[in-house]
Structure 1
Amino acid sequence: MNEELKGEVTRGARALVVYPQMRGRGDLDTGARLEEAKGLALAIGLEVADAIAIPIREPRAGTLFGEGQIQNIGVACELNEAELVVVDGSLSAIQQRNLEEKLKRKVIDRTGLILEIFGERAATAEGRLQVELAHLDYQAGRLVRSWTHLERQRGGFGFLGGPGETQIEADRRMIRDRMAKIRRELEQVRRTRGLHRERREKAPWPIVALVGYTNAGKSTLFNRLTGADVMAQDLLFATLDPTMRAIRLPGVEKAILSDTVGFISDLPTQLVAAFRATLEEVTAADVIVHVRDIANPDTESQKRQVLEVLSGLGVLTGDEESDEDRLAIPIVEVWNKWDLLGTAHAAELREAIAHREGETIVPLSAMTGMDCDGLLEAVGSKLTEDSKLYTFIIPAADGQRIAFLHARGDVVSEEDAGEGAGGPQLRLQVRLTGRELGRFSAL
């Protein structure tokens, strides 16, 4: 390997972003995909010198690109003084090695770049375990054959290097052993999270989960509604670990709002599996708030990406996107960044909302606070819309069940019901949803 490749690639390095444009792809359009790729590079502190799309008719097994295309990439690197090439697609170990030899520069693919971001941002012990597992899975086939030029001490499990533990010399058996150990630890984490989730389901507070494409404004909205200070920046994957805070809603004394990791097109398969436990938090929600960046020209494609992930989690069922009954969990759609729209565009979208029957859509600006109260009202309505009136006679000493009814339901009346076998009793008339009735019955 060329000596030039043995140096460190650090934050601030100039990078050329290359998007291999495949025929028949159904994700974001080329312009949006290039912008997203640039955002990924910026999120890890790289300086994007230029971003280009290269049409690929027949992928080459050894290099992905044709010889002429590789020469064009090399010329672009020289013109832009780029020391790093970011390929916005998946590369095999052989393709990555061959491209590095031909371009005389370090090459990172989309998977490696996203892993780098996740490795830097994961804050909890679970998040770090999940990232390390994903990274080990990714590099298992690359250490021996294609990463010989990186035989040095490195920190953590990222690609940008630094002092720390040795990863490159580890053989495959060591990687497999480490992956097995991490999976055991994550399984314990999942069991613990499951127990916590069961306790939350029995606790007297509904859960509202914020989901959406990365950088849609979920954390900004979370901070606006809760007064928290969760990291909210104009960066992809600013939030990786779920955060929860209590909020008040109309008709609901208290609810738990959960901020989740952002979704993205072509999320590496290693991370889809590794972050399963994090995303499973969504399945425990009573209402899902889907936050969309309505000012983004590719907002519809981003919505489809989110719905695909939700479908994989079992939140959506059935085949038709338009069927309201395919929602296993009620969804409120937030059209965020309304303040960035022009007057004419905003008027068109309000007209579109008026014709979207059977859907709950709230236009707002998390940045300015515009109509955030309307979102709270919409979520409160979702939590109580299918409620029915029930009468319960409960021992006055049963504080847990009484507290549950007050917090999760709408108590219409509460009166003395006389003495029972266990002492004084109360008669409560309460409006409850079917889901809350099931949770109450399990207490």
Structure 2
Amino acid sequence: LANEGLTRDDLTDLALLRLDAVVSIAVGENGLPGLAHAASLSPANDEGRATESLPPRHPAEFDFDFGLWIRELENELARATATREVGPDERAILVSVTAGRDRETLEMHVAELRELARAAGVSVVEVVTQSRPRVDPRTVLGAGKLSDLVIRCFQNDIDLVIFDQDISPAQARTLSERMELRVIDRTQLILDIFAQRATSGDGKLQVELAQLRYRMPRLAQRADLSLSRLAGGIGGRGPGETKLESDRRRVRDRITRLERETKRLTRQREGRRRRRDRRGVPVLSIVGYTNAGKSTLLRALTRSEVHIEDKMFATLDPVSRRLRFPREREVIITDTVGFIRDLPEDLKAAFHATLEELRDANLLLHVVDAASPDVDRRIRAVRDVLGELGLDDKPELLVFNQVDRLPEDEIEGLARRYRAIPVSALEGRGLRALLTRAEDILWDDEKRCPGEEERFLDLAAEGG
């Protein structure tokens, strides 16, 4: 009205309300129309334009067929949608705010979020980042960036928006209402992956418990919001409150039952461990960051059928195998769920029972992806979780896996720097040296006979 043109809110409403176009007309002091500003949504393009704006002009000067313009635009949008691959994956945009992180750290975290999305079966269409000292308490992103995100979601036919930061129930609700899309955070994404991968009854129970613990405060907050809209006090308690309270009560009761079942399973595991201890069989536990190649190493060492997949959290339930050493000695070697940075508290609590198996380990084989760009951070993340479990005093042997992806001249220096054993589980390389070192740690009071290391199941027949 004041010849200010179209505002950012106008352009956001253009996408949210699914409008063909939006036009603002200035009105002069004499009440006559001034310049008109018009814009429409733009199909996805390489330049990243969200809208197409026409040059400001007097309404009388619009001398084109408006209906034809809109039909051509709709046809172009339809063609863009029709050319996309049709598949079962949901289309998602990843969102991350720096919030004090430097650019390099942000890029590593976004790359990890992309891998998590792939593991969950999500097709990542685009990544949106914003440099801010802290997240917005209401919408995580700033107002302008959020408006751009809304339009990008419309342009790319997005089903889901995934935030790298953990978002509060209030933030999730505000964002969902603003974008009219499902909005989840990194924790929910990890929980979804765990729900897909859990196969044992124990694993499924722990995943459900983690999900309910995560959802409980969000359910409570939604209930409080809904109740605040009722006429409070006497006469204000209607069916809505009964339904919300009953939902919360059912969740609490289910959590109580699952916790009771978890304690029962913990006692069963303790009984199995005591029987194993009486037999005096040493335990090797494979630990490490998710997707470091732990399951591949277990399969290579034991020559057994173990599920492996190049995805995060491909292994969720613990897997144990026997491994024979020279002099008719054997160990139990166990593969455990992979660790990850900033592991959500609900997941730590739920999988504490599974990770208790590590307490009986005589040696931890800490597997590291040697080709990862952030080796130090991943080692630190795993050791932090072990410290929280009270396992930081366990003997640890660093195993740098996937050295086949590194230049030959870097491998020896990297292994020497970290005092690690370099291996390639995929190629069977370095396994003999790994088992020889593990034997030295497990039976350090005994001397090996000359040439005895050659009897390690001929593991390195091809790779050495």
TM-score (norm 1): 0.73
Structure 1 stretch displaced more, 34-43 or 78-87:
78-87
Offset of residue 3 of structure 1: 11
Mapped partners of 1:3, 1:144: distance in 2: 31
Amino acid at match of 1:289: L
* CA shift in 2, pair 1:173/1:11, >3 Å: farther
What's 1:94 paired with?
A: 170
What's 2:90 paired with?
A: 13
Contact 1:295 1:338 in 2 (8 A): yes
Mapped partners of 2:350, 2:421: distance in 1: 32
Q: How many residues align?
A: 348
* CA shift in 2, pair 1:3/1:122, >3 Å: farther
* CA shift in 2, pair 1:352/1:337, >3 Å: closer
Kindly report the root-mean-square deviation, in angstroms, between the aligned alpha carbons of the 2 structures: 2.7
Residue number among 391, 394, 412 corresponding to 1:350 in the alignment: 412
What's 1:61 paired with?
A: 137
Offset of residue 384 of structure 1: 1.0
What's 1:195 paired with?
A: 271
SS in 1 for 2:219: coil
Mapped partners of 1:125, 1:23: distance in 2: 41
1:242-267 Cα distance to aligned partner (Å, 9 max, x none): 01000012456111010000000111
Equivalent residues in 2 for 1:320-339 (5 A)? Answer: 328-339=393-404
Equivalent residues in 2 for 1:91-170 (5 A)? Answer: 91-143=167-219
What's 1:23 paired with?
A: 100
Offset of residue 230 of structure 1: 1.9
What's 1:434 paired with?
A: none
* CA shift in 2, pair 1:303/1:381, >3 Å: same
Contact 1:364 1:371 in 2 (8 A): yes
Unpaired segments ≥5 residues, structure 1: 5-9, 148-166, 317-327, 390-409, 412-443
Does 2:387 align with 1:314?
Answer: no
TM-score (norm 2): 0.70
Q: Looking at both structures, which has the greater relative contact order when contacts are Cα pairs under 8 Å and sequence separation is at least 6? A: 1
Contact 2:411 2:422 in 1 (8 A): no
SS in 1 for 2:141: coil
Equivalent residues in 2 for 1:368-379 (5 A)? Answer: 368-379=427-438
Amino acid at match of 1:12: D
Unpaired segments ≥5 residues, structure 2: 1-15, 19-86, 224-242, 450-464
What's 1:402 paired with?
A: none
Structure with the bigger percentage of strand = 1
Offset of residue 351 of structure 1: 2.5
Offset of residue 53 of structure 1: 2.5
Contact 1:209 1:259 in 2 (8 A): yes
Mapped partners of 2:289, 2:369: distance in 1: 8
What's 1:156 paired with?
A: none
1:413-438 Cα distance to aligned partner (Å, 9 max, x none): xxxxxxxxxxxxxxxxxxxxxxxxxx
Equivalent residues in 2 for 1:28-427 (5 A)? Answer: 29-143=105-219, 171-250=247-326, 253-316=329-392, 328-343=393-408, 347-354=409-416, 359=419, 361-385=420-444, 387=445
Mapped partners of 1:55, 1:231: distance in 2: 40
Contact 1:251 1:380 in 2 (8 A): no
1:271-327 Cα distance to aligned partner (Å, 9 max, x none): 0000001111111101110000000111111111001011112121xxxxxxxxxxx
Mapped partners of 2:200, 2:104: distance in 1: 31
Offset of residue 177 of structure 1: 0.6
